[in-house]
């Protein structure tokens, strides 16, 4: 039996964001923060994303030198320091500094963890385990919502300070778990630590035989990828912005950057951060019922997260992205029309639309973008490329979270139409420009970007691959031969 690595750390990040939905409704918090305006509520919440953006940029600069585990440990320590500052805050300035520090740690972690997962999961289980672990991500958000609900029955500082402090529990668990887990075998091979890499590859595939066919195939593919990138002069940090026809690094970065933008422009954080606030102000529910429904919504979200691991192998990542965008667009349209109507009966439809939104988001945009962006990057530049694409996530996260309170207050139901348009616009963009990576070994994905057109609709790159695909293997072998390297990728049964 193979050992699946990398499924735990990412699950420990979400409680750092979900708690704000209830904190913004706590009377003592509002008094402690000198009753912030609607604009300041958005800024206090969204400044966390600016910290995350800074963490991504920091990852771009130094993370490749230190592997995958060390930056995650540094990021986790920053999350804890930021949580302490927020818990002890007695004014807006201290609370915002704490959110920035926590954001730096989260930005660093979210840049590295998807790479670590992609590089340590066997090819045939990468989609399954890489997406299945996001159920635990939803568990973190659900826990935060229910903590908000439970603490709403208390009063004074404990109502919000304990909610803020609880994010440290998962971060401390991460500090305990990460040192026991293996380094990325691909990073080790890229830094000439071959014997360590082979040992970890054997653990990944559940064998002690270094001559095992799967082990040898992985080693050969990784070595080829490293050699190809070297001969294509695609190993320095500046090469991430070049778009030569053999590697198309800039095309890869732009695909990932816009995909991460789609995640935020889908409206998920506008709902996730403010769902209790929206239920109370837009739908007109009571304070207690708003918090209660937020908790049930989190449980629904967690149940919906079970779907992606089973449908990604069947309809591919492209299919999930298009299906999710269509469903989310329909849900936002229902929210807009229902809030415009304003009647009690229609408000029930609005609440159902909120719940269904999370189902479609889970199908298309919960796990797929994080898996996809890590997969499409070349090995030498994977940490830098993923840092850039993740920065898009946090940049647009800041923008959407910042504008949501004012937009909902000033535009009312019309604000929901903005996200309706965005979601429907994603569908043709994905169909035309985003290739399919499902069913392909990590190194075989390089063939997608070898002298190919940016428009993939109607081509073989819009279809799911096969691990034993002769076409992909021959394409890589041709690429290798063209650069003067002997040998070819062996057939994998």
Number of structural domains in the chain: 1
- Note the residue count of the chain: 493
Residue 485 confidence (pLDDT): 43
If we measure between CA atoms, which residue out of 136, 71, 134 comes closest to residue 104?
71
Residue 491 falls within a domain, yes or no?
A: no
Tell me what the mean pLDDT of segment 163-187 comes to. 89
Residue 137 falls within a domain, yes or no?
A: yes
Alpha helices in 121-239 (DSSP H): 126-132, 134-151, 158-165, 167-177, 185-190, 194-205, 213-231
Residue 1 falls within a domain, yes or no?
A: no
Indicate if the pLDDT at residue 263 is higher than 90.
yes
If we measure between CA atoms, which residue out of 466, 461, 33, 79 comes closest to residue 251?
461
If we measure between CA atoms, which residue out of 112, 134, 110, 140 comes closest to residue 394?
110
Write the DSSP assignment of 414-454 as a string of letters: HHHHHHHHHHHHHHHHHHHH----TTS-TGGGGGGGSS--S
Residue-averaged pLDDT of the chain? 81
| DSSP structural state of residue 363 | I
Higher pLDDT, 5 or 129: 129
If we measure between CA atoms, which residue out of 111, 143, 106, 221 comes closest to residue 467?
221
Alpha helices in 63-151 (DSSP H): 69-87, 92-120, 126-132, 134-151
Residue 3 falls within a domain, yes or no?
A: no
470-482 and 213-231 helices, crossing angle to 10°: 40
3-state class (DSSP) for residue 16: helix
Q: Is the dihedral of CA 374, 378, 380, 384 positive or negative?
A: negative
- pLDDT tens track for 60-108: 887 778 888 999 999 999 999 999 999 999 889 999 999 999 999 999 9
CB 457 within 8 Å of CB 430: no
Residue 182 falls within a domain, yes or no?
A: yes
Residue 487 falls within a domain, yes or no?
A: no
- pLDDT tens track for 132-153: 777 777 787 777 777 877 887 8
Q: Is the dihedral of CA 362, 366, 372, 375 positive or negative?
A: negative
Residue 438 falls within a domain, yes or no?
A: yes
- pLDDT tens track for 3-26: 444 444 444 444 455 567 668 778
Residue 3 confidence (pLDDT): 43
Q: What are phi and psi of 217, to 5 degrees?
A: -65, -45
What span, in angstroms and rounded, lies between the C-alpha atoms of 386 and 259? 12
If we measure between CA atoms, which residue out of 490, 468, 440, 459 comes closest to residue 123?
440
Residue 490 falls within a domain, yes or no?
A: no
CB 75 within 8 Å of CB 106: yes
What span, in angstroms and rounded, lies between the C-alpha atoms of 119 and 96? 35
- pLDDT tens track for 413-432: 787 898 999 999 999 999 99
CB 57 within 8 Å of CB 108: no
Domain extent, residue 294, equals 9-482
The number of beta carbons lying within 10 Å of the beta carbon of residue 180 is 6
CATH code for the domain in which residue 369 is found: 1.20.1250.20
What span, in angstroms and rounded, lies between the C-alpha atoms of 199 and 197? 5
If we measure between CA atoms, which residue out of 270, 22, 259 comes closest to residue 143?
22
Tell me what the mean pLDDT of segment 166-180 comes to. 89
Indicate if the pLDDT at residue 479 is higher than 70.
no
What span, in angstroms and rounded, lies between the C-alpha atoms of 373 and 109? 15
Q: Is the dihedral of CA 237, 121, 185, 450 positive or negative?
A: negative
CB 317 within 8 Å of CB 430: no
| DSSP structural state of residue 379 | G
């Amino acid at each position: 039996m193979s050992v699946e690595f990398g499924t735990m750390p990412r699950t420990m990040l979400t409680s750092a964001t979900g708690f704000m939905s209830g904190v913004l409704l706590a009377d003592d918090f509002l008094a402690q923060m000198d009753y912030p305006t609607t604009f300041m509520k958005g800024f206090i919440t969204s400044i966390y994303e600016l910290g995350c953006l800074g963490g991504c940029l920091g990852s771009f600069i130094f993370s490749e030198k230190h592997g995958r585990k060390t930056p995650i440990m540094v990021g986790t320590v920053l999350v804890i320091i930021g949580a302490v500052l927020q818990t002890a805050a007695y004014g807006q300035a201290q609370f915002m500094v704490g959110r920035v520090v926590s954001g730096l740690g989260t930005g660093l972690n979210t840049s590295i963890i998807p790479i670590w997962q992609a590089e340590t999961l066997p090819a045939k289980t990468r989609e399954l385990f890489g997406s299945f672990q996001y159920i635990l991500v939803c568990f973190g958000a659900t826990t935060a919502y229910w903590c908000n609900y439970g603490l709403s029955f208390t009063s004074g500082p404990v109502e919000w300070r304990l909610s803020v402090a609880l994010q440290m529990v998962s971060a401390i668990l991460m500090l305990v778990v990460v040192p026991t887990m293996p380094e990325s075998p691909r990073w080790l091979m890229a830094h000439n630590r071959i014997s360590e890499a082979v040992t970890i590859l054997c653990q990944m595939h559940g064998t002690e035989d270094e001559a095992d066919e799967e082990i040898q195939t992985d080693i050969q593919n990784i070595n080829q990828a490293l050699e190809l990138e070297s001969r294509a002069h695609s190993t320095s940090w500046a090469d991430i912005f070049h778009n030569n026809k053999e590697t198309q690094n800039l095309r890869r970065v732009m695909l990932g950057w816009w995909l991460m933008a789609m995640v935020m422009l889908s409206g998920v954080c506008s709902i996730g951060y403010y769902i209790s606030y929206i239920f109370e102000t837009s739908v007109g529910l009571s304070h207690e019922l708003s918090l209660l429904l937020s908790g049930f919504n989190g449980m629904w979200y967690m149940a919906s997260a079970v779907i992606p691991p089973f449908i990604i192998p069947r309809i591919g990542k492209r299919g999930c992205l298009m299906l999710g965008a269509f469903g989310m667009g329909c849900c936002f349209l229902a929210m807009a029309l229902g809030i415009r109507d304003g009647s009690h009966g229609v408000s029930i439809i609005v609440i159902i639309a909120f719940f269904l939104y999370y189902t479609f988001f889970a199908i298309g945009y919960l796990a797929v973008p994080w898996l996809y962006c890590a997969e499409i990057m070349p090995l030498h530049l994977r940490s830098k490329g993923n840092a850039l694409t993740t920065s898009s996530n946090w940049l647009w996260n800041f923008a959407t979270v910042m504008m949501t309170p004012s937009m909902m207050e000033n535009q009312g139901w019309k604000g929901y139409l903005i996200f309706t348009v965005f979601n429907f616009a994603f569908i043709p963009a994905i169909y035309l420009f985003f290739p399919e990576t499902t069913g392909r070994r990590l190194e075989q994905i390089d063939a997608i970007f070898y002298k190919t057109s940016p428009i993939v609709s109607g081509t073989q790159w819009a279809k799911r691959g096969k691990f034993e695909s002769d076409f992909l293997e021959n394409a890589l072998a041709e690429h290798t031969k063209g650069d003067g390297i002997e040998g070819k990728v062996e057939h994998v049964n």
